Amino acid sequence: MLSVEDIHVAYGGVQAVRGVSFEVRNAQVVGFVGANGAGKTSVLNAITGLVPSRGRVSLDGDPLHGRKTADIVRRGVVQVAQGRQLFPDMTVLENLEMGGFLQPPQHVQEDIEKMFAQFPVLQERAMQRAGTLSGGEQQMLAIARALMGRPRVLLVDEPCLGLSPKMVGKLGEVIRRINADGIAVLVVEQNTAFVFGLAHHAYVIENGQVVLDGKPEQLREDDRVRSAYLGI
Ligand SMILES: Nc1ncnc2c1ncn2[C@@H]1O[C@H](COP(=O)(O)OP(=O)(O)O)[C@@H](O)[C@H]1O
Ligand SMILES: [Mg+2]
């Protein structure tokens, strides 16, 4: 459904992404693993139009490349930014409302109820300022806010960053449940074990290029992946 072909991103003279291609099929979780600076965020930002790029991106054949971010969100591709990027002085509820700003008002009310059912801690803390939540709660809110945009494809950038192992486990369950609801997920992480535990298909990115891809069970057998990414 989401097709990314030969994407290039450059910042001035720095080639951050050099010809990355991949697909996210319906109802799949796809993972991207790579070290800090490998180009993972740049790939996501290219898909959602947050950085200029060369290449082609399409959703079910409908070209996304060159469109404005709001148009891309409207078509169902929504990003959860690295570092959560919540509105820290707004309440949990207000952050959720912001996530639905492109939706008709009746969807917003309905979806807030859904998010509260799915993330009970957000209901408990509905009137609390987002900046006062724990890291794990903030990540849940960032994901819930993105779901308010009714995505068909959810792009999640380094959700595990700074979270306890217990919280990382919960996050895995949350992503699995979202996917089980029929939303395709592209998750980008330095935490390779996390991605391999979730993804149907994974890509390894180094210096702005895909160097390897396959099913996690295949990649786990690769000597280079084992030493460089799994520490085995
Ligand atoms: N806004 C920017 N300006 C200049 N260089 C950038 C910018 N954003 C990222 N880069 C550079 O591009 C490369 C890829 O960065 P990024 O996509 O953030 O990687 P990752 O998400 O895998 O850590 C890095 O070398 C980084 O320093
Ligand atoms: Mg990044």
Question: DSSP string covering 179-210, please?
Answer: HHTT-EEEEEES-HHHHHHH-SEEEEEETTEE
- Give the pLDDT confidence of 130-144 residue by residue, as tens digits: 999 999 999 999 999
- Give the pLDDT confidence of 170-228 residue by residue, as tens digits: 999 999 999 999 999 999 999 999 999 999 999 999 999 999 999 999 999 999 999 99
| Ligand 1 pocket by Cβ (under 6 Å) | 11, 14, 16, 34, 36-42
CATH architecture for segment(s) 2-76+151-228: 3-Layer(aba) Sandwich (3.40)
pTM of the model: 0.96
* CATH 3.40.50.300 residue spans of the chain: 2-76+151-228
- The residue nearest atom 5 of ligand 1, judged by CA position, is 11
Atom number of ligand 1 nearest to Cα 44: 17
Instruction: Kindly give, in sequence order, each residue whose CB lies less than 8 Å from that of residue 160, ignoring residues fewer than 6 positions away.
Output: 168, 171, 189, 190, 191, 194
Cα of 45 vs centre of ligand 2, distance in Å, is: 10
> What is the rounded radius of gyration, in angstroms, for the C-alpha atoms of the chain?
17
- Give the pLDDT confidence of 32-77 residue by residue, as tens digits: 999 999 999 999 999 999 999 999 999 999 999 999 999 999 999 9
Atom number of ligand 1 nearest to Cα 208: 14
Q: Is-contact 9 46, C-beta < 8 A?
A: yes
